[in-house]
Amino acid sequence: MITTHNLGFPRIGKKRELKFALEKYWKRDITQNELCDIAATLRHEHWQNQEQLDLLPVGDFSFYDQVLDTSFMLGNLPERVQNITDNTLDNYFRVARGRSSSNESECSCIQAGEMTKWFDTNYHYIVPEFDQNTQFSLDSSSLLEQIAEAQQQGHNIKPVIIGPVTYLWLGKAKDESNKLDLLDKLLPVYAELFSELEKTGIEWLQIDEPVLVTELSDAWQHALRNAYHTLQSTPLKLLLTTYFGELQENLQLSCTLPVDGVHIDAINGKDEVAKVIDWLPSHKILSLGVINGRNIWKTDLSDTVKWLKPIYERLQDRLWLAPSCSLLHVPVDLDNEQKLDSEIKSWFAFAIQKLEELALLASTLSEGESSVEKQLAENKAVIDSRKHSSRVHNQSVKSRVLEITDEMGNRQSQYNERATIQRKKLNLPLYPTTTIGSFPQTLEIRKARRDFRVGTLAEEQYRIAMQNEIKHCVNEQETLGLDVFVHGEPERNDMVEYFGEQLTGYAFTQFGWVQSYGSRCVKPPIIYGDISRPEPMTVAWAHYAQSLTDKPMKGMLTGPVTILNWSFVRDDQPRSETCLQLALAIRDEVLDLEKSGITMIQIDEAALREGLPLRKSQWQSYLDWAIKSFRITANGVTDETQIHTHMCYSEFNDIIASIADMDADVITIETSRSDMELLDVFDEFRYPNEIGPGVYDIHSPNIPSVKSIVDLMNKAKQRIPAERLWVNPDCGLKTRHWDEVKPALANMVEASEILRQER
């Protein structure tokens, strides 16, 4: 018999119940008991959703983040909350978000824990904090309660924890100490946890060490050996769990650590499964992650069965099956979707449907195809329909991609020549001021968009409402005295969705939410087919905005790499190919904007950096096609047209050469929070074009003073010649209020005038 199991289930709820409960609790609209009841109901439901599996995960539920849960379980709380003893859950929320309730007075707020991306996903965890004095002490109460809860409900379970080495790897030392030195203090706490878990009667424990898919130094490899040798005396059976990629040089290590089984990502690591089987000692079980936990496509069951059959014959009971990783990264239930086109919908599987596929795979293998003939035939029909559908395949798009030439990615002239032409044409002052695109999205704007969407506001009325808003933004910029304008983006709900909705090959769900961090979820659109742009997407708005002013109006677009990285993408062609299709579609828009008289075009690549693969050895090939896609999008314009790009970060020391290679005339980046420290990279690397280092931290309600802006720009001037500097905020202003934005931008303009005089 094959054992089926799951690594983790989304906790947010089919209709984001957990999100709403948390937000109510933070407002104190519900009590802590009520919040806990809702959580228990969700866990109950989620276990029921997974009932067809042999082993259900416990410990995958979290009120905010599983890494923060681990920090609490291991007694590793930041010092700033250690003496607040009122209530564990409130303390937990303080570390997560700086306060336990929205009523908590400003002065009792503490600094929230730093948040960062969980490997290469869009899920963000709270970074564990370490220093050389860090002590650990076990508090397993929450996990034990959930185990008891699941057992009472009669489930066969497998608790899930983060392994000690990955836990250290995820954290950050706040002093000069080496966090690996903490391992010896950490392991006894894990041993203690194991003995607590033994008492619950469980047999298997899933212990996640996804660091095994990253490039590990000798010290980290040694830490893994040390950890699992130290912990091996436990009678619990350990399933060492890896995901998000291939093991590569860690393969042998993963197979030989003293545990009872290994789980590997057999989607990304399919090619190394044979090698793993060869290396794995014969007493160990092998769990294969054969259902993709990172996308929304149905699995080709016949194909998978064909591949698995010989493996099953060889391994027999030693073969377990699971999704490739936790299902945290996919939406919960496809059955909720009422508005998807039925053919397209038939190609998708969300978490619940993925587990059905898993059960089906297992019974096909152990009982033979005839037992599930009907389901397999249905699956085959769907897979075939997707393979051949004219909705997916558009020959003219494919041909266009094949016909891409190097020339298409090159500007007519080198930057220096273009800059001279652009200077003459644009006649901008030194230190030109601009903003990044969006202006505050007021309640009225959101309401108008919503009413238009549901049909209660006629198209003409909607257009007038948006034009009025654009006019308002232009007037404000005029009054403020900015040099380069934007239209304000009132018509956009989201910088990817807005474009996706106007491109062919894109589908949108109603409830396809995926947790991003805490109570925040995103609903990534789905690219299912070849991408084309039937008609201009932004030209009318940009043209209207430009007609209101003599100042240059930036046309505002989202770049192909960002659109790709914030969508669920096709699995039937390489990402690079989809990206090139997007590049051609946005290129058409760029050229149409240029034709309509727009002289500056900003192409946002907010998510370029986050697409970097986990392994550094794979960075260059990603950067090659990502930068190529950007260049094809942007560089078809004449020398006179100025291309801008924007990135919401500036840790690009390691990719600066590629950023420069994009060859945008102007790049705006985030720098204000780091006091321009992030510009250090420009000491070593001579960035050749113009730069706007953000001087106004738009994530904060604080209004930057004139002096602070002047100081920041003076620091920037030490690295980049003044002729090539712009003055702008860090990012778009859509989440701010006008009464914050106006004084902040007024200060920015004033600072820029001072800088010009100082010259």
Residues from 647 through 666 that contact ligand GLN (CB under 6 A): 648
Pairing label, strands 504-507, 526-532: antiparallel
Residues 18-57 vs ligand GLN: string with x where CB under 6 A? ----------------------------------------
Dump strand ranges (E) for 503-546.
Answer: 504-507, 514-517, 520-522, 526-532
Q: 111 by DSSP, 3-state: which?
A: coil
556 binds, among ligand GLN, Zn ion, none (CB under 5 to 8 A by kind): ligand GLN
Return the range that interacts with Zn ion (CB under 5 A); candidates 55-63, 135-143, 306-314, 644-652.
644-652
173 forms part of the interface with Zn ion (CB under 5 A): no
Cβ nearer to ligand GLN, comparing 242 with 538: 538
One residue of 68, 186, 349, 648 binding Zn ion per CB under 5 A: 648
Backbone angles phi, psi at 526, to 5 degrees: -115, 125
> Minimal distance in Å, beta carbon 668 to Zn ion?
8
Q: Which helix (H) or strand (E) holds 384?
A: helix 373-388
495 binds, among Zn ion, ligand GLN, none (CB under 5 to 8 A by kind): ligand GLN
Dump strand ranges (E) for 182-284.
Answer: 204-208, 237-241, 261-265
Cβ nearer to Zn ion, comparing 238 with 647: 647
Cβ nearer to Zn ion, comparing 678 with 731: 731
The half-sphere exposure of 452 on its side-chain side, counting CA atoms within 13 A, is 18
698 forms part of the interface with Zn ion (CB under 5 A): no
Look up tokens 């793993």; give the residue.
276
Residues from 471 through 490 that contact ligand GLN (CB under 6 A): 489
Closest CA to 258 of 287, 286, 290, 226: 226
Return the range that interacts with ligand GLN (CB under 6 A); candidates 23-31, 411-419, 430-438, 650-658.
430-438
CA distance linking residue 221 with residue 227, whole number of Å: 10
Return the range that interacts with ligand GLN (CB under 6 A); candidates 369-377, 381-389, 568-576, 728-736.
728-736
Cβ nearer to ligand GLN, comparing 470 with 606: 606
Cβ nearer to ligand GLN, comparing 323 with 704: 704
DSSP 508: -
Return the range that interacts with ligand GLN (CB under 6 A); candidates 175-183, 281-289, 387-395, 433-441.
433-441
Return the range that interacts with ligand GLN (CB under 6 A); candidates 197-205, 221-229, 578-586, 729-737.
729-737
Residues 587-606 vs Zn ion: string with x where CB under 5 A? -------------------x
731 forms part of the interface with Zn ion (CB under 5 A): yes
Distances (CA, A) of 270 to 266, 304, 611: 4, 11, 21
Closest CA to 367 of 312, 288, 318: 312
> Minimal distance in Å, beta carbon 731 to Zn ion?
3
**475 C-beta neighbours (distance < 10 Å), count:** 12
Number of residues that bind ligand GLN (CB under 6 A): 13
604 forms part of the interface with ligand GLN (CB under 6 A): yes
Terminal-residue alpha carbon distance, the chain: 79
> Minimal distance in Å, beta carbon 440 to ligand GLN?
11
242 binds, among ligand GLN, Zn ion, none (CB under 5 to 8 A by kind): none
Cβ nearer to Zn ion, comparing 291 with 731: 731
The half-sphere exposure of 740 on its side-chain side, counting CA atoms within 13 A, is 19
Beta-bridged to residue 558, according to DSSP, are 604
Residues from 528 through 557 that contact ligand GLN (CB under 6 A): 556
Residues 210-249 vs ligand GLN: string with x where CB under 6 A? ----------------------------------------
438 binds, among Zn ion, ligand GLN, none (CB under 5 to 8 A by kind): ligand GLN
Q: Which of 46, 222, 699, 737 is catalytic?
A: 699
Q: Has 393 been annotated as catalytic?
A: no
DSSP 245: S
CA distance linking residue 561 with residue 558, whole number of Å: 9
Distances (CA, A) of 657 to 186, 582, 661: 40, 23, 6
Residues from 492 through 521 that contact ligand GLN (CB under 6 A): 495
Closest CA to 658 of 614, 626, 692: 626
The encoded tokens of residue 129 equal 């904090």
CB-based contacts of 504, cutoff 8 Å, min separation 6: 394, 529, 530, 531, 532, 533, 534
CA distance linking residue 84 with residue 63, whole number of Å: 19
The encoded tokens of residue 64 equal 């905010």
> Minimal distance in Å, beta carbon 604 to ligand GLN?
5
Backbone angles phi, psi at 157, to 5 degrees: -125, 165
Closest CA to 209 of 248, 244, 185, 179: 244
Contact indicator for 227, 164 with CB cutoff of 8 Å: yes
Look up tokens 């968009």; give the residue.
449
Cβ nearer to ligand GLN, comparing 161 with 608: 608
> Minimal distance in Å, beta carbon 561 to Zn ion?
14
Cβ nearer to ligand GLN, comparing 128 with 732: 732
Cβ nearer to Zn ion, comparing 599 with 602: 602
One residue of 96, 247, 383, 436 binding ligand GLN per CB under 6 A: 436
606 forms part of the interface with ligand GLN (CB under 6 A): yes
Q: 320 by DSSP, 3-state: which?
A: strand
11 binds, among ligand GLN, Zn ion, none (CB under 5 to 8 A by kind): none
731 forms part of the interface with ligand GLN (CB under 6 A): yes
> Minimal distance in Å, beta carbon 495 to Zn ion?
9
Contact indicator for 365, 312 with CB cutoff of 8 Å: yes
Look up tokens 């920041």; give the residue.
712
The encoded tokens of residue 361 equal 């795979």
Cβ nearer to ligand GLN, comparing 215 with 494: 494
User: Per-residue b/e over 81-96, b at no fewer than 16 CB within 10 Å?
Assistant: beeeeeeebbbbbbbb
Sign of CA dihedral 19, 20, 24, 25: negative
* Catalytic sites, residue numbers: 699
Residues that bind ligand GLN (CB under 6 A): 436-438, 489, 495, 556, 604, 606, 646, 648, 731-732, 734
Residues that bind Zn ion (CB under 5 A): 606, 648, 731
